A and B are shown apart, each in its own frame.
Chain A
Amino acid sequence: MIVAEKKPMEEVIKEIKDYKNILLLGCNECVTVCEAGGKKEVGILASALRMYFLNQGEEKRIDEVTLERQCDHEYLEEIRDRIDTYDAVLSLACGVGVQFMADKYVSIPVYPGVNTCFLGATEKRGLWTERCQACGQCILASTAGICPISRCAKRILNGPCGGSTNGKCEISKELDCAWQLIINRLKAMSRMDDYEILLDIKDWSSDRAGGPRKVVREDVQE
């Protein structure tokens, strides 16, 4: 999923301070799981913002809506009939949701309420870690299911580098060396022979370096 973090209150206040009628828009998917922008966070932030502005002598209308997703037309359509009653939208979805909202409702200002961080997993409640950088050419088949692109600081394909010490990465003692993890897993699967197979130079044209990307599936298009 996409992992995001709440923006500091101060920043959010700055974003919306000049508007009177604000729609606080949450998303029921990724940002709900990482506890940054779901229904619960929408409720808390809305309540806090109402109090903040009231205390400043300003009564603002801050409505709360949480959509199933903000990255799909059908759900974003659900607010079409009421969108004109707002001066601005504060979206707690990831950057994708914020932009899709902006694309769809051209004349209304949209502000991000979270910082979108990475593609990751919930290791445990309150701990999310990066697992994929959406490189567009997945090599997990050759790396024992552990991604050196997102989890190795140097993104090396035939690791580890000389900085790997006692299973930790040289950039931090807290960080597992991705290549150590790969080796451990190859061992556990009795596939250490695979470690001897050198990985080819990676085709980075499908990564961000090639500019914004798209996936087209004509077979499913209507």
Chain B
Amino acid sequence: MRLSYPTSIKIIRVPCTGKVDVIHILRSFEKGADGVYVVGCMEGDCHFNKGNFRARKRVAQAQKMLDDIGIGGERVKMYNLSSSEAPLFVKFAKEMFDKIVELGPNPIKSAKKKNINRQTEAA
């Protein structure tokens, strides 16, 4: 089909979305990601039965945590599709991309830069 999706999206492959934990999502933000979305199989179709349900809950936990610390829970989202739905994959990618553009960059990135500047000024 050769569909294209925004090039700034980096794909991290996991054996099942059930492998994704809250810490992976938070660390991504700590390292400067502007948004994270998890794409799992359709609910009910998980090869490991509950993997995508677990992922959904962890995404919700990460959202709450990011809201609590002022980074914004909307930067994280869970999607479901089946492996043959490439157009849907592109649709989700674009939707998430637009959402992040609207929200602007991860505030941690600029905070880190400001901090470095402050430190060099002090030195």
Partner-B contacts on A (CB < 8 A): 8-10, 40, 43-44, 47-52, 54-57, 59
Contacts and interface: CB of A to CB of B under 8 A. Distances in A.
Given A43-B23, A47-B26, A47-B30, A55 B71 contact: yes
Contacts of A55: 69-71, 107-108, 111
A60 B112 CA distance: 12
Contacts of B112: 54
Nearest to A10: B68
Contacts of B46: none
A51 B71 CA distance: 8
A9 B68 CA distance: 7
Contacts of A10: 68
Given A44-B65, A51-B108, A55-B107, 9 more contacts: A9-B65, A9-B68, A40-B21, A44-B26, A47-B23, A48-B68, A51-B71, A55-B69, A55-B70
- Measured as residues with beta carbon below 8 angstroms from the partner, the interface class of chain B is 10 to 19
B68 A59 contact: no
Interface string B13-48: 000000001110011011000000000000000000
Given A44-B23, A47-B26, A51-B26, A57 B111 contact: yes
B34 to A, nearest CB: 13
B-side interface mostly: helix
Contacts of B70: 52, 55
A48 B69 contact: yes
Contacts of B115: 54, 57, 59
Contacts of B68: 8-10, 48, 52
A47 B22 CA distance: 10
- Which 6 A-B residue pairs are closest in the complex by CB-CB distance? A52-B69, A9-B68, A47-B26, A54-B111, A43-B23, A59-B115
17 contacts: A8-B68, A9-B65, A9-B69, A10-B68, A47-B23, A47-B26, A49-B69, A51-B30, A51-B69, A52-B70, A54-B112, A54-B115, A55-B70, A55-B71, A55-B107, A57-B111, A57-B114
A90 B23 CA distance: 19
Contacts of B114: 57
Nearest to A12: B68
A51 B67 CA distance: 12
B106 to A, nearest CB: 9
A47 to B, nearest CB: 4
